[in-house]
Amino acid sequence: MTNEFNVPPVVFPAGGNPGPALHQRRTPTAPFPGTNHGIPFMSFDIGAAESATATPFSAPSFSERIGGGDSLNLDDEPPLLEELGINTKQIWSKTVSILNPFRVKSNSHEDADLSGPFLLLVAFGLFQLLAGKIHFGFILGWISVASIFLYVVFNMLAGRNGDLDLHRCFSLIGYSMLPMVILSALALFVPQGGAAIFAMACFFVVWSTRICSSLLVELASIGGENRWLISYACLLIYALFSLLIIF
Protein backbone atom coordinates (compact mmCIF):
# COMPACT_ATOMS: atom_id res chain seq x y z
CA MET A 1 0.00 0.00 0.00
CA THR A 2 1.53 3.28 -1.07
CA ASN A 3 1.19 6.61 0.72
CA GLU A 4 -0.08 9.53 -1.30
CA PHE A 5 1.35 13.04 -0.67
CA ASN A 6 -0.38 16.20 -1.83
CA VAL A 7 2.35 18.36 -3.40
CA PRO A 8 1.21 21.79 -4.56
CA PRO A 9 2.10 22.60 -8.14
CA VAL A 10 4.96 25.00 -8.91
CA VAL A 11 3.84 27.89 -11.10
CA PHE A 12 6.40 29.98 -12.98
CA PRO A 13 5.51 33.36 -14.46
CA ALA A 14 5.17 33.79 -18.17
CA GLY A 15 8.34 34.33 -20.15
CA GLY A 16 10.49 32.14 -17.90
CA ASN A 17 11.88 35.10 -15.93
CA PRO A 18 11.11 35.41 -12.26
CA GLY A 19 9.19 38.48 -11.30
CA PRO A 20 10.51 41.36 -9.26
CA ALA A 21 8.66 40.07 -6.23
CA LEU A 22 11.00 37.12 -6.01
CA HIS A 23 14.04 39.44 -5.74
CA GLN A 24 12.66 41.31 -2.79
CA ARG A 25 14.28 40.72 0.60
CA ARG A 26 12.12 38.79 2.95
CA THR A 27 11.41 40.29 6.31
CA PRO A 28 12.75 38.12 9.17
CA THR A 29 10.06 36.66 11.30
CA ALA A 30 10.15 35.28 14.76
CA PRO A 31 11.36 31.71 15.10
CA PHE A 32 8.08 30.63 16.57
CA PRO A 33 5.25 32.72 15.20
CA GLY A 34 2.11 32.99 17.24
CA THR A 35 3.90 32.50 20.62
CA ASN A 36 5.21 34.99 23.17
CA HIS A 37 8.05 32.80 24.42
CA GLY A 38 10.26 32.76 21.37
CA ILE A 39 14.04 33.07 21.40
CA PRO A 40 14.95 36.80 21.35
CA PHE A 41 17.19 38.14 18.65
CA MET A 42 20.67 38.95 19.95
CA SER A 43 22.66 41.70 18.29
CA PHE A 44 26.43 42.06 18.55
CA ASP A 45 28.25 45.40 18.48
CA ILE A 46 31.46 44.83 16.54
CA GLY A 47 32.86 48.26 17.43
CA ALA A 48 32.54 47.59 21.14
CA ALA A 49 34.32 44.27 20.78
CA GLU A 50 37.21 45.90 18.90
CA SER A 51 37.58 48.61 21.55
CA ALA A 52 37.58 45.97 24.29
CA THR A 53 40.40 44.03 22.64
CA ALA A 54 42.39 47.20 22.06
CA THR A 55 42.82 47.87 25.78
CA PRO A 56 46.40 47.14 26.95
CA PHE A 57 46.99 44.12 29.17
CA SER A 58 48.42 44.92 32.59
CA ALA A 59 50.71 42.21 33.94
CA PRO A 60 50.43 41.45 37.64
CA SER A 61 53.28 42.72 39.75
CA PHE A 62 55.20 40.50 42.12
CA SER A 63 54.69 42.92 44.96
CA GLU A 64 50.99 42.09 45.19
CA ARG A 65 49.81 40.02 48.10
CA ILE A 66 49.16 36.42 47.21
CA GLY A 67 46.44 34.69 49.14
CA GLY A 68 46.36 37.42 51.76
CA GLY A 69 49.99 36.81 52.79
CA ASP A 70 52.92 39.15 52.99
CA SER A 71 54.61 40.56 49.93
CA LEU A 72 57.56 38.75 48.37
CA ASN A 73 60.78 39.73 50.14
CA LEU A 74 64.04 38.16 49.04
CA ASP A 75 66.05 39.81 51.81
CA ASP A 76 64.62 37.39 54.39
CA GLU A 77 65.68 34.31 52.41
CA PRO A 78 68.69 32.38 53.85
CA PRO A 79 71.86 32.09 51.75
CA LEU A 80 72.16 29.25 49.29
CA LEU A 81 75.09 27.61 51.11
CA GLU A 82 73.11 27.62 54.35
CA GLU A 83 70.17 25.95 52.64
CA LEU A 84 72.52 23.25 51.32
CA GLY A 85 73.91 22.65 54.81
CA ILE A 86 77.35 24.16 54.11
CA ASN A 87 78.61 26.35 56.95
CA THR A 88 81.73 28.15 55.76
CA LYS A 89 82.60 29.55 59.20
CA GLN A 90 82.43 26.11 60.74
CA ILE A 91 84.60 24.64 57.99
CA TRP A 92 87.19 27.37 58.46
CA SER A 93 87.32 26.95 62.25
CA LYS A 94 87.76 23.19 61.93
CA THR A 95 90.49 23.59 59.34
CA VAL A 96 92.40 26.11 61.47
CA SER A 97 92.19 23.83 64.51
CA ILE A 98 94.14 21.15 62.62
CA LEU A 99 97.12 23.45 62.02
CA ASN A 100 98.41 23.12 65.58
CA PRO A 101 99.54 19.50 66.13
CA PHE A 102 100.38 20.05 69.82
CA ARG A 103 96.99 21.45 70.84
CA VAL A 104 93.95 19.79 69.40
CA LYS A 105 90.67 21.71 69.72
CA SER A 106 88.05 19.00 69.86
CA ASN A 107 85.23 21.44 70.59
CA SER A 108 85.24 22.59 66.95
CA HIS A 109 84.63 19.04 65.69
CA GLU A 110 81.60 18.14 67.78
CA ASP A 111 79.30 18.68 64.77
CA ALA A 112 80.34 16.36 61.95
CA ASP A 113 80.06 17.47 58.34
CA LEU A 114 81.30 16.22 54.97
CA SER A 115 81.71 19.53 53.14
CA GLY A 116 85.11 20.36 54.60
CA PRO A 117 86.61 16.88 54.05
CA PHE A 118 85.35 16.88 50.48
CA LEU A 119 87.06 20.21 49.77
CA LEU A 120 90.32 18.94 51.29
CA LEU A 121 90.19 15.77 49.21
CA VAL A 122 89.55 17.78 46.05
CA ALA A 123 92.54 20.02 46.90
CA PHE A 124 94.66 16.91 47.48
CA GLY A 125 93.65 15.54 44.10
CA LEU A 126 94.39 18.86 42.37
CA PHE A 127 97.92 19.02 43.78
CA GLN A 128 98.46 15.46 42.65
CA LEU A 129 97.18 16.45 39.22
CA LEU A 130 99.76 19.24 39.06
CA ALA A 131 102.40 16.61 39.75
CA GLY A 132 101.14 14.60 36.75
CA LYS A 133 99.20 12.01 38.76
CA ILE A 134 95.48 11.44 38.32
CA HIS A 135 94.46 10.03 41.70
CA PHE A 136 90.92 11.31 42.23
CA GLY A 137 89.44 7.82 42.12
CA PHE A 138 92.11 6.39 44.43
CA ILE A 139 91.67 9.20 46.96
CA LEU A 140 87.89 8.92 47.20
CA GLY A 141 87.98 5.13 47.23
CA TRP A 142 90.72 4.87 49.85
CA ILE A 143 89.13 7.43 52.15
CA SER A 144 85.87 5.48 52.08
CA VAL A 145 87.59 2.17 52.83
CA ALA A 146 89.72 3.82 55.53
CA SER A 147 86.64 5.28 57.23
CA ILE A 148 84.89 1.91 57.30
CA PHE A 149 88.09 0.23 58.55
CA LEU A 150 88.61 2.71 61.40
CA TYR A 151 84.91 2.60 62.27
CA VAL A 152 85.02 -1.19 62.67
CA VAL A 153 88.28 -1.15 64.66
CA PHE A 154 87.08 1.61 66.98
CA ASN A 155 83.76 -0.04 67.77
CA MET A 156 85.43 -3.41 68.34
CA LEU A 157 87.76 -1.82 70.90
CA ALA A 158 85.07 0.29 72.55
CA GLY A 159 82.41 -2.40 72.65
CA ARG A 160 79.07 -1.21 73.92
CA ASN A 161 80.56 2.02 75.24
CA GLY A 162 81.53 3.28 71.79
CA ASP A 163 79.34 5.94 70.22
CA LEU A 164 81.27 6.61 67.02
CA ASP A 165 79.15 6.59 63.87
CA LEU A 166 80.38 6.33 60.30
CA HIS A 167 79.47 9.93 59.48
CA ARG A 168 81.63 11.34 62.28
CA CYS A 169 84.45 8.93 61.44
CA PHE A 170 84.52 10.11 57.84
CA SER A 171 84.50 13.74 59.00
CA LEU A 172 87.43 13.32 61.40
CA ILE A 173 89.57 11.38 58.93
CA GLY A 174 88.80 13.93 56.22
CA TYR A 175 89.76 16.96 58.28
CA SER A 176 92.93 15.20 59.44
CA MET A 177 93.93 14.98 55.77
CA LEU A 178 95.04 18.63 55.90
CA PRO A 179 98.72 17.75 56.60
CA MET A 180 98.61 15.38 53.62
CA VAL A 181 97.30 18.23 51.46
CA ILE A 182 100.18 20.45 52.63
CA LEU A 183 102.64 17.63 51.90
CA SER A 184 101.26 17.20 48.37
CA ALA A 185 101.70 20.94 47.78
CA LEU A 186 105.29 20.97 49.08
CA ALA A 187 106.16 17.84 47.10
CA LEU A 188 105.82 19.86 43.90
CA PHE A 189 109.05 21.72 44.80
CA VAL A 190 111.01 18.76 46.23
CA PRO A 191 112.81 16.19 44.06
CA GLN A 192 111.03 12.86 43.95
CA GLY A 193 112.77 9.87 45.49
CA GLY A 194 115.13 11.89 47.66
CA ALA A 195 115.74 11.76 51.39
CA ALA A 196 113.97 15.11 51.86
CA ILE A 197 110.61 13.89 50.61
CA PHE A 198 110.79 10.81 52.89
CA ALA A 199 111.61 12.95 55.94
CA MET A 200 108.76 15.33 55.14
CA ALA A 201 106.37 12.42 54.63
CA CYS A 202 107.23 10.96 58.06
CA PHE A 203 106.63 14.29 59.76
CA PHE A 204 103.26 14.91 58.09
CA VAL A 205 102.08 11.33 58.64
CA VAL A 206 102.79 11.63 62.36
CA TRP A 207 101.02 14.99 62.37
CA SER A 208 97.87 13.57 60.79
CA THR A 209 97.98 10.51 63.03
CA ARG A 210 98.21 12.56 66.21
CA ILE A 211 95.35 14.84 65.19
CA CYS A 212 93.00 12.03 64.12
CA SER A 213 93.68 9.77 67.12
CA SER A 214 93.29 12.66 69.59
CA LEU A 215 89.96 13.68 68.11
CA LEU A 216 88.68 10.11 68.13
CA VAL A 217 89.65 9.54 71.76
CA GLU A 218 88.26 12.85 73.02
CA LEU A 219 85.01 12.88 71.06
CA ALA A 220 84.12 9.18 71.48
CA SER A 221 83.90 7.08 74.63
CA ILE A 222 86.79 4.67 74.35
CA GLY A 223 89.24 5.42 77.14
CA GLY A 224 92.96 6.18 77.10
CA GLU A 225 94.11 2.55 77.29
CA ASN A 226 93.23 1.96 73.62
CA ARG A 227 94.76 5.19 72.36
CA TRP A 228 97.85 3.53 70.89
CA LEU A 229 95.81 0.97 69.00
CA ILE A 230 93.73 3.75 67.44
CA SER A 231 96.92 5.65 66.64
CA TYR A 232 98.37 2.59 64.91
CA ALA A 233 95.27 2.27 62.71
CA CYS A 234 95.44 5.98 61.83
CA LEU A 235 99.16 5.64 61.07
CA LEU A 236 98.46 2.92 58.51
CA ILE A 237 95.80 5.06 56.83
CA TYR A 238 97.90 8.19 56.41
CA ALA A 239 101.03 6.26 55.50
CA LEU A 240 99.05 4.79 52.62
CA PHE A 241 98.13 8.27 51.39
CA SER A 242 101.71 9.44 51.69
CA LEU A 243 102.77 6.69 49.28
CA LEU A 244 100.61 8.36 46.62
CA ILE A 245 102.65 11.53 47.09
CA ILE A 246 106.09 9.94 47.22
CA PHE A 247 105.67 7.58 44.28
Residue 113 CA, distance from chain mean position? 16
Alpha carbon distances (Å) from 23 to 17, 20, 29, 121, 151:
11, 5, 18, 97, 105
pLDDT for res 67: 47
Q: Which residue has the higher pLDDT, 174 or 38?
A: 174
At 116-149, the pLDDT tens digits run 999 999 999 999 999 999 999 999 999 999 999 9
pLDDT for res 103: 84
> 97: Cβ–Cβ under 8 A, 6 or more apart, which residues?
104, 105, 108, 109
Per-domain residue ranges for the chain?
112-246
Q: Which residue has the higher pLDDT, 219 or 128?
A: 128
Residue 64 confidence (pLDDT) above 50: no
Handedness of CA 188, 194, 200, 206 (dihedral sign): positive
